[in-house]
Amino acid sequence: MRHRETHRSERIGWLRAAVLGANDGIVSTASLVIGVAASDAPRGQVLLAGVAGLVAGAMSMAAGEYVSVSSQADTEQADLARERTELATDREFEHQELRDIYRARGLDPDLASQVATQLMAHDALGAHARDELGITEVHAARPVQAALASAATFAVGAAMPLLTVLLTPPTLAVAVVGSTSLVALAALGALAARAGGAPPVVAAVRVTFWGALAMALTAAAGKWFGAAG
């Protein structure tokens, strides 16, 4: 019976986009509604600002991820095209490159040459993509997947402070949105760290600190501009 191991690195592509989206959804939307609420705006205006922030933020995250990851994908495809050309025009040099890579990893010269020969006979482009360029199926750029994950998780994260505003008396909105958002950020940071095999406490403290700073500065701005108006 074949046993397939699962590794955390397989999650790195979608996990990074998902965590980034949810984190930004909570921080940006909570900061936005806290800033507007701190200016003593009525609940309707606070919710309107939050909904607008959710839609704009989700689209911005999707577009940003798609453009960024597409650029990575374009670079990967350009490297692969160049490698195809080099394999077609100077296969012996490409064999030497692969052999030298395996020698640097600890194989003796004869064995490194044999491995390079056999791998190139099986899938020359795949061998060079993996061992020379560092392009693998696990780490390959997936623009659409990254864009959808970012937009969806941003919307989920942004929905939490909006629901809190809807269910909380206006006089308590700033305090309740701030506290619940910080708890959610800490839980998100810890969960993402655990999924990736990193220490959860460090990640939780990191995202909570930056979230608290963003909310505090936005609340101060809302209070100041509200008083000035």
Q: Is the dihedral of CA 50, 54, 55, 60 positive or negative?
A: positive
- Whether residue 201 lies inside any domain: the answer is yes
Is 202 domain-assigned? Answer: yes
DSSP state of 73: H
Domain that holds residue 57: 10-228
Whether pTM exceeds 0.75: no
Handedness of CA 56, 57, 60, 62 (dihedral sign): negative
Provide mean pLDDT across the span 155-183.
Answer: 92
pLDDT for 3 beyond 50: no
Does the pLDDT value for residue 68 go beyond 80?
A: yes
Q: Is residue 195 part of a domain?
A: yes
Residue 2 forms part of a structural domain: no
Where would I find the H helices in the chain? 12-38, 43-89, 91-104, 109-128, 143-167, 173-196, 200-228
pLDDT tens sequence across 7-23: 444 455 556 667 778 88
Query: What percent of the chain lies above the pLDDT cut of 70?
Result: 87
Question: Does residue 26 lie within any of the structural domains?
Answer: yes
Q: Is 72 a member of any domain?
A: yes
- What does pLDDT average to over the chain? 83
- Residue 177 in domain: yes
Long-range contacts of 118-126 (CB under 8 A, 24+ apart): 120/91, 120/94, 120/95, 124/87, 124/91, 124/94, 125/80, 125/83, 125/84, 125/87
The stretch 163-187 carries a mean pLDDT of: 92
Residue 75 pLDDT > 50, yes or no? Answer: yes
User: Domains in the chain: how many in total?
Assistant: 1
Report yes or no on 5 lying in a domain: no
> Can you give the pLDDT at residue 213?
94
How would residue 2 be classed by pLDDT, with cut points 50, 70 and 90? Answer: very low
**Residue 109 clears pLDDT 90, i.e. is over it:** no
